[in-house]
């Protein structure tokens, strides 16, 4: 049952925002205040099927829509996102907890992909080879697959949906989106703007829910491709289940990102970058630098690193000057606090304890302040697990090769960074490191949409990543055409074999 005093989040099916008929609902809670902002439904199987059927029907005409028409919709869409940036950021902050600056950054990184989608005319071109045999040409067409789907996480409720449905739709597919049930409000506002930009009914559909809805998407015979970003256990389940159902699947999953600090690094810039990369967004991002390896004399920088972390302001995201907002929910708070205690119990040195911070006016918030461990070893839980909170593990290495060995021994391969003034050290690092995304004096090396997000090893399942060139391959089927034409008066022979000479 729903409380009529609290707004409900709607489904989007066939161009209409509709109230779910489900009996299962979940509260959307402001993580800084515990205020119930809205209620989100867990869609029924019939509603999921209706969304897919709507997308399947819309595909018949959308796939034939001229590429220039598709591009202009996304030109309009990026304009609408820019015009509504402050509203989108405020929504995101209320339901997810990020600072307003982080929230705008969340929207902006998604906006970059929308801009990329508006260039689809240049991206979705095939290839042609003239005269591969006598009077024979061969060329390729990049054609849409059909109905595609996306399952997105709570930590980037604007950016990651915008990584998915714009590129899928721009390439001629239709889409079913399942946002995180923890913070779907900003996603739904982005969906409203997408319809305002001109996306036709049925081309974009939205269902909400938990494991049953995820499984329904993975199993549905009319869905051709599934994109997922989230935790490793769920991503592994999605990949296995959807792959077994014959779908294309891309899963971006967990991470344990290392920053390697050489003693010749620019100290001021490096320390500022480390603090921001670890504690920004309360550490709730897959590209957070949650481990720092101090090499040689750089290990003497630990006290200054701790001092800068301690100066960060912990408060609600709407408060001016806030650096670290709340965690998404109570369960996350308990988990992070539990891992901090486990780090202490296993013998790590707790240099800075961020548990139970005093946050005036927000005493019920899910807050953990910047927390810093030294003396961390690879067998500790705080190193092995993705904490997803503002907790930094500091390790030491005698030289660059030892630091590289530490990074490569970790099962994850999402991102890493080196801080140095040495071109030789940077080149050696980028060549030997077994991680998909590498930063050189850049702490969070998420590529711009001209390139593809390219995490590797335990952080990724599937060969192709989101956005960039790879996503065009993911959302299209290559069709190769070999053609030969004859003059009207030419007489052909019975032998139709084409001989390459």
Q: Catalogue the active-site residues.
A: 286
Consecutive H or E run containing 28: strand 25-29
**Within 13 A of 235's CA, how many CA atoms are on the CB side?**
19
Cα–Cα dist 123/464, whole Å: 16
In 3D, which of 198, 208, 193, 180 has the Cα closest to residue 12? 208
Cα–Cα dist 163/471, whole Å: 10
Residue burial 417-427, b: 16+ Cβ < 10 Å; e: rest: bbbbeeeebbe
Distances (CA, A) of 198 to 201, 404, 472: 9, 49, 22
Cα–Cα dist 50/63, whole Å: 20
DSSP H helices, 155-231, are 159-170, 185-197, 211-219
Residue burial 53-68, b: 16+ Cβ < 10 Å; e: rest: bbbbebbeebeeeebe
User: Which strands, in side-by-side order, build the sheet including 438-440?
Assistant: 349-352, 371-374, 391-397, 289-295, 257-261, 416-419, 438-440
Judged by DSSP in three states, 91 sits in helix
């Amino acid at each position: 049952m729903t409380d009529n005093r609290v707004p409900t989040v709607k489904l989007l099916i066939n161009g209409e925002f509709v109230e779910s008929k489900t009996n299962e609902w979940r509260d959307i809670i402001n993580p800084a205040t515990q205020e119930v902002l809205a209620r989100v439904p867990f869609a029924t199987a019939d509603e999921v099927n209706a969304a897919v059927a709507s997308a399947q029907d819309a595909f018949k005409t959308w796939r034939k829509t001229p590429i220039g028409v598709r591009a202009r919709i996304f030109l309009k869409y990026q304009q609408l996102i820019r015009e509504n940036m402050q509203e989108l950021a405020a929504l995101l902050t209320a339901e997810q907890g990020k600072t307003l600056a982080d929230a705008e950054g969340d929207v902006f990184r998604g906006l970059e992909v929308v801009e990329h989608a508006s260039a689809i005319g240049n991206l979705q071109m095939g290839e042609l080879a003239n005269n591969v045999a006598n009077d024979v040409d061969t060329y390729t067409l990049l054609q849409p697959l059909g109905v595609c789907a996306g399952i997105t996480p709570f930590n980037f409720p604007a950016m990651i949906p915008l990584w998915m449905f714009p590129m899928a739709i721009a390439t001629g597919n239709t889409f079913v989106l399942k946002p995180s049930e923890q913070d779907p409000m900003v996603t739904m506002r982005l969906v409203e703007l997408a319809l305002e930009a001109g996306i036709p009914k049925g081309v974009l559909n939205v269902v909400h829910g938990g494991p049953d809805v995820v499984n329904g998407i993975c199993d549905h015979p009319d869905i051709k491709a599934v994109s997922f970003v989230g935790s490793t256990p769920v991503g592994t389940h999605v990949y296995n289940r959807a792959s077994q159902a014959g779908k294309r699947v891309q899963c971006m999953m967990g991470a344990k990102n290392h920053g390697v600090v050489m003693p010749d690094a620019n100290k001021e810039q490096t320390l500022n970058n480390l603090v921001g990369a670890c504690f920004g967004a309360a550490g709730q991002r897959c590209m957070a630098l949650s481990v720092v390896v101090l090499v040689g004399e750089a290990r003497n920088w630990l006290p200054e690193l701790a001092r800068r972390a301690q100066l960060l302001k912990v408060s609600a995201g709407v408060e001016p000057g806030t650096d670290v907002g709340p965690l998404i929910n109570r369960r996350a708070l308990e988990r992070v606090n539990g891992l901090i205690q486990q780090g202490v119990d296993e013998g790590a040195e707790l240099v800075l304890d961020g548990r139970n911070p005093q946050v005036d006016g927000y005493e019920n918030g899910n807050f953990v302040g910047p927390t810093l461990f030294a003396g961390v070893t690879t067998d500790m839980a705080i190193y092995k697990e993705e904490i997803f909170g503002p907790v930094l593990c500091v390790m030491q290495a005698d030289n660059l090769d030892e630091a590289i060995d530490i990074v490569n021994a970790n099962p994850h391969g999402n991102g890493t960074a080196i801080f140095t003034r040495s071109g030789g050290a940077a080149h050696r690092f980028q060549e030997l490191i077994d991680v998909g995304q590498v930063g050189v004096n850049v702490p969070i090396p998420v590529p711009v949409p001209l390139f593809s997000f390219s995490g590797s090893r335990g952080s990724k399942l599937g060969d192709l990543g989101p956005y960039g060139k790879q996503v065009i391959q993911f959302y299209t089927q290559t069709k190769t055409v070999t053609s030969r034409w004859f003059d009207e008066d030419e007489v052909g022979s019975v032998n139709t074999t084409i001989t390459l000479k």
